Structure 1
Amino acid sequence: MKFSIHLLVIFSIFLFQRTEGSNNLISESCREASKNDPNLSHDFCVASLEEASTKSKPPPSSLKDLVGMSIQLTKSNGTIIVSLISELLKNKSFDHYAKACLLDCSKLYSDSLSDLEDAVAAFESKDFDTANIKASAALDNSVTCEDQFKDKKGESSPLTKENHIFFQLNVMSLAFIQMFRQYR
């Protein structure tokens, strides 16, 4: 029994140190990324990655892991947005213009998901220029989605919050790709 308790204490300390190490990696990487990119909020970065790391087995242990995690997080978010747009398109209260914008946003986000897949493949093959270009294209699509609603006076985007979050996640991925490129 005493042996089991000691083993449990040692395991708990090990687990705490792994989690603590992961949190330090996230915090320090987010600090560096947000310092170098004014479009990235440190708090958003940390909160997003800490939540994702609780679901990640094993937790991230390197900047390379954070690049993969941030792109995956962005892809998951984009998939949720595509589903949300599908639901919004069923809403009869949107006029023809808003529905056309939503359809365009759906296409843009679908393209973004493909671009992010390409970014992962490029990053894994150490083609950092292509990874950067593909992640940037995904980022631009969220801006385009938001901006097209502004083309009609009085129209407002029902996706403003989602577009902003997707933008931030992309900025985070781009910052980590750049950091990895510099420090590898």
Structure 2
Amino acid sequence: MKFASFLLVCFIFIFLFQSSNSSNLISQSCKKASKNDPNLRYDFCVASLKDASSKLQPAPTNLEGLAGIAIQLTKSNGTNTVSMISKLLKEKSFDEYAKVCLRDCYDLYSDSLSDLDDAVVAFKSKDLDTAATRLSASLDNSVTCEDQFKEKKGETSPLTKENQVYFQLNVISLAFIQMLRQHY
């Protein structure tokens, strides 16, 4: 019985140590990335990655692991946004201009998911230049989506929050890729 208790204490200690190391890695990486990129919000970076990495076992132990998580998080968010846009397009409360914008946003986000798939493949094969290019293309799509609503006076984008979150996740992914490029 004492041996089982000892093993349980050891397991808890190892888990807490690993969790603490992952938390430090996230904080340090987000701090460095936010210093190098004025578009990256440190608090958002830390909160997003801590939440995502807390669901993973084992937790990331290096910048490469964090970059992979950031790209996957961006892709998951983009997939959710495509689903949301599909639902919005079925609503009758939008005028024709807003529906055209939403259809364009749907296409932009769908293209963006393809860019992220390419980024994942490039990242896994350590082709960081291609990964950065594909992430940049993905990032631009959320900005384009938001901007087109602004072209008509008085039109409000129903996707502002989603576009901002997607933009930030892309910025984080891209910043981490840029940091890795400096190490290779």
Fold-level match, TM-score > 0.5? yes
Q: Matched residue pairs, number?
A: 184
The one-letter code matched in structure 2 to 1:23 is: S
Instruction: Give runs of ≥4 in structure 1 deviating > 3 Å.
Output: none
State the partner residue of 2:155.
155
- Residues 1:116 and 2:116 are matched in the alignment: yes
The one-letter code matched in structure 2 to 1:75 is: K
TM norm structure 2: 0.98
The equivalences for 1:73-112 within 5 A come to: 73-112=73-112
* DSSP 3-state at the match of 1:38: coil
State the partner residue of 1:61.
61
- Give 1:8 shift: 1.0
* DSSP 3-state at the match of 2:154: coil
Distance between the aligned counterparts of 1:67 and 1:183, measured in 2?
Answer: 13
Give unpaired runs (5+ residues) of structure 2: none
Distance between the aligned counterparts of 1:23 and 1:142, measured in 2?
Answer: 29
Distance between the aligned counterparts of 1:29 and 1:95, measured in 2?
Answer: 44
- Residues 1:140 and 2:151 are matched in the alignment: no
The equivalences for 1:8-19 within 5 A come to: 8-19=8-19
* DSSP 3-state at the match of 2:126: coil
TM norm structure 1: 0.98
Distance between the aligned counterparts of 2:60 and 2:111, measured in 1?
Answer: 28
State the partner residue of 1:174.
174
Distance between the aligned counterparts of 2:81 and 2:133, measured in 1?
Answer: 22
Distance between the aligned counterparts of 1:8 and 1:125, measured in 2?
Answer: 39
